[in-house]
Structure 1
Amino acid sequence: MGTLKGWELAIEQAEKALAEKLFGSDAAEAEVVEALLRTCDEHAVVCSSHRTVVPNVFIVELPPPVYAEIGPHLTVVGQELTDRLARHGEREGYEWAGPLTVRLAAAEHIPNGRYQVRCAPMSHITAAPLSTPDP
């Protein structure tokens, strides 16, 4: 059991170091997560009293040096952000327009110089109703 506890502690410390490297502080991390949730909420489409659809592809754009620095951990960070967004969507009763994905990407032009969040439904998702084949 002691080895498992030590392993868990090492993972937690690595995650904290990665978050510090990516966001600079807990406040900055919370700011990025808040921007992600806000972007989701702003793009929600109420289809009926029981159905609210939101985009399912979110991209957190970072300056190239920051993106390069966290390169080996992109999957872990993307999954953590995806998990946080999924929990938010569940609390709000959202329906995703497809499988939920949060990716990190490098971008040269970021308005605030630190990050930018964009979203869209998957490209193959359309608003057209499903049709049934003729008999």
Structure 2
Amino acid sequence: MERALERWQNNLLSKLRHREDVELLDALHRECDQHAVVCSESRVVVPNAYEVELDAHVHEELIRHGHGDVGEVLTDDLARHGERNGYEWAGPLTVRVTPVARPPGDPYRVTSGPMPHVRADAFPGDG
């Protein structure tokens, strides 16, 4: 009985964790999409620096369950999202995850912007 209850609890936690993961990815995609700047028919520029404030307990759980570099996983997912939508990043793409104390029911916050210390002439242009 005890093992069955433990399996049920683990399955429930896994589903909740997955739901939060999907919600976080959706929030990251929305942040990107909402800040897209259409420069021409063939050029849409989006922010390249994203900050994710993640509830410290959620962050701890992710690390404990083998999701060590959360920022890298989110960066890879966001890069695929940008590629699917034909976005051009305002510079090198980065997603920084910071564990913080978040209010209950609010496990994360996503913000974005162009990386302030990157100069436009530091990247190769069209010529």
The normalised TM-score by structure 1 is 0.66
1:65 is displaced (CA, Å) by 3.4
**Given that residues 43 and 88 in structure 2 are in contact (C-alpha distance below 8 angstroms), is that contact kept between their aligned partners in structure 1?**
yes
1:77 is displaced (CA, Å) by 1.6
1:40 counterpart residue number: 32
1:70 is displaced (CA, Å) by 4.7
Match 1:28 to one of 12, 20, 25: 20
Provide the C-alpha distance between the structure 1 equivalents of 2:14 and 2:35, rounded to a whole number of angstroms: 26
Provide the C-alpha distance between the structure 1 equivalents of 2:81 and 2:22, rounded to a whole number of angstroms: 14
Q: Alignment length, in residue pairs?
A: 110
| Runs (5+) with no aligned partner, structure 1 | 1-19, 131-135
Match 2:76 to one of 74, 83, 86: 83
1:53 counterpart residue number: 45
Provide the C-alpha distance between the structure 2 equivalents of 1:76 and 1:113, rounded to a whole number of angstroms: 21
Provide the C-alpha distance between the structure 1 equivalents of 2:35 and 2:29, rounded to a whole number of angstroms: 10
RMSD across aligned C-alpha pairs, in angstroms?
A: 2.9
| Runs (5+) with no aligned partner, structure 2 | 1-11, 123-127
For 1:36, the aligned partner's letter is L
SS in 2 for 1:113: coil
1:42 is displaced (CA, Å) by 0.3
The normalised TM-score by structure 2 is 0.69
